[in-house]
Homo-oligomer: A and B are copies of this chain.
């Protein structure tokens, strides 16, 4: 019932109703100053929204001089967006009215839904059904609204005190309270935003929907997320992967700790999730994770204002040695290099600066003025040894920060032209120093109160450069998998630990190499098996209930003869009988002793939110001692597998440590991809451990020495 003509050539995005409405009704708009219903209404007026803003309130004739309507249905003109600020118990009829009116999207600010117990959950379900019935997009409930700073829209449908300047960063937040802080902080720093959305309980519109919207929004060049939970992690990864090569995504996720999770869960009604899986998710999606709000802004600031550095080589230009040293330390800690300057630069600096200046890197230009800063910057812009420059300024006795700021601003286009980021730290001063360095909004030189913050931001911009330039991962179709056989093994198994024989058969069906293994019900069968295989062998207990075999004396290695095997067998069963667990023994397995190799582990586990996770790490007791493990969310791409193997410190062992030959890394990567396929195909596998795996030298592959699989 939209009377405006719609261009048929350009399909409208359903979220346009939220971010680009042509008219907004505020249901629950209030005359009472200080109320949310008043604030949202006046915010919409104050932001100079391009279309009509219509207050709906049966108890008032006009609010701030604007005529009110008793019901959204009484409004004569079409309404694109309705913002609802009435008590939870009256939200549903209002939304129903919106549906009948033909409203395209509703934002429900009101709290009292899924975050507040069983009744609230029911109410939210009904709310969602109504919106779905009428095809309306729903933001919230329990949110603080949305913004669009595009001057052709100028939408401030929130109760925030500030409306940030237009910029290139879009921001979504799971926490309304943090949204208020974010908007105020961004505004203080002069950081511009394109869109802002507080998603509240995410009954309909989620962070994923926003990602998809901003992917295609030409006004957005970077995305900031504050997350407390994930709705659909796989979709999130898929989306993020499609965005991150073009627009950086920077995320702050709370709930790292159990206390943090408790806090996040209690107010969003969402289950908190394992933090290592979150790390994996961000790695797989090419998302930059930051630790706190301050860093979120620092990183967004550089990514939205400056070119992405081509490499890690930084020049530090300072007028004080101490700050230069601290900055150099911070660079080293962040993996940024301070290379020597080009000969031409050195010659130029020598001519430009007093003899007491230090021409290393950091360059300490000593207490000189703006012309020397400018000359040095001009030389550094042209120096091919340098990918980025951090300028530090300490007010000396003859303080003229404005002049130095002016030359930095003046040199900025030269750096931009050459694709080199330029950052500043006027120590002690953050952000938009009026009339000095950083005009508010989209362009300009990011300026940090302390150089360490500049270094952190630059390092993450460098990380983004690596993300952007790396080849996309592929989902690989692996040969040699007998899915039919595998399914038969799993289907015929009961709940619990799979018998050793089936374990190894299942691995073989997925093309995973394991040691020749023979099951034996008694001693004679075990001796027969050992003679078939050839000594030395390993003898291991087989049981559905005893998981940690070593701890009950259920493993004997390097058995060289039938006499040794006999002795080991009796000792093993004797120990179990002594602790009253002999009945749990199904038999033993006999296996050829594996050769020398690097001990690794790999496996599958399942998480309620993230689904199957693939694990990899160093084997033996060092696994636990050094927690040298990594995981990724299934499905793995070839790139994921490569990164996994390289992200553990034990990778040095695989590369050939201390003169040892390198191990067969491609074979280990393939093993991880096979596990990913297994996790995908066989949902009854609750847990799978390959421990240990021995990785042999290049071309010699690996062998799984022991394995266990839990079926459910």
Binding site for B on A (CB under 8 A): 34-36, 39, 111, 116, 159, 161, 173-178, 180-181, 184-185, 188, 226, 228, 252, 254-264, 266-268, 291-294, 316, 319-333, 338, 356, 358, 360-362, 364, 394-399, 427-428, 449-450, 452, 551, 621-622, 624-626, 628, 649-650, 652-653, 657-659
Query: In the complex, A186 Cα to B327 Cα: how many Å?
Result: 20
Query: In the complex, A653 Cα to B620 Cα: how many Å?
Result: 13
In the assembled complex, the CB of A497 is this many whole angstroms from the nearest CB of chain B, namely 20
B322 A450 Cβ-Cβ under 8 A: no
Query: In the complex, A394 Cα to B34 Cα: how many Å?
Result: 16
Q: Decide: A263 near B321, CB < 8 A? Known: A293-B450, A330-B292.
A: yes
In the assembled complex, the CB of A475 is this many whole angstroms from the nearest CB of chain B, namely 32
B361 A329 Cβ-Cβ under 8 A: no
Q: Decide: A262 near B328, CB < 8 A? Known: A395-B180, A428-B188.
A: yes
In the assembled complex, the CB of A181 is this many whole angstroms from the nearest CB of chain B, namely 5
Neighbouring B residues of A294 by C-beta, 8 Å: 449-450, 452
| Chain B residue nearest in CB terms to A186 | B428
Q: Decide: A254 near B621, CB < 8 A? Known: A161-B395, A263-B360, A397-B159.
A: no
Neighbouring B residues of A261 by C-beta, 8 Å: 325
Query: In the complex, A256 Cα to B327 Cα: how many Å?
Result: 10
B325 A255 Cβ-Cβ under 8 A: yes
| Chain B residue nearest in CB terms to A338 | B259
Query: In the complex, A360 Cα to B257 Cα: how many Å?
Result: 14
Copies of this subunit: 2
Query: In the complex, A322 Cα to B658 Cα: how many Å?
Result: 48
Interface pairs A-B: 10 shortest CB-CB: A177-B320, A175-B322, A257-B332, A267-B321, A178-B322, A254-B325, A260-B329, A259-B328, A260-B328, A263-B325
Neighbouring B residues of A621 by C-beta, 8 Å: 653, 657-658
Query: In the complex, A294 Cα to B456 Cα: how many Å?
Result: 14
Query: In the complex, A608 Cα to B378 Cα: how many Å?
Result: 40
Query: In the complex, A188 Cα to B36 Cα: how many Å?
Result: 35
Query: In the complex, A570 Cα to B266 Cα: how many Å?
Result: 73
In the assembled complex, the CB of A361 is this many whole angstroms from the nearest CB of chain B, namely 7
B322 A228 Cβ-Cβ under 8 A: yes
**What are 28 A-B pairs with beta-carbon distances under 8 A?**
A111-B356, A161-B395, A173-B322, A175-B325, A177-B319, A177-B320, A177-B323, A178-B326, A180-B320, A180-B394, A181-B394, A184-B428, A226-B322, A254-B326, A260-B332, A263-B321, A263-B324, A263-B362, A264-B322, A264-B325, A266-B321, A267-B322, A267-B324, A268-B321, A292-B326, A293-B326, A622-B626, A625-B657
In the assembled complex, the CB of A431 is this many whole angstroms from the nearest CB of chain B, namely 11
Query: In the complex, A346 Cα to B294 Cα: how many Å?
Result: 33
B39 A397 Cβ-Cβ under 8 A: yes
B551 A659 Cβ-Cβ under 8 A: yes
| Chain B residue nearest in CB terms to A455 | B292
| Chain B residue nearest in CB terms to A293 | B450
In the assembled complex, the CB of A184 is this many whole angstroms from the nearest CB of chain B, namely 6
| Chain B residue nearest in CB terms to A267 | B321
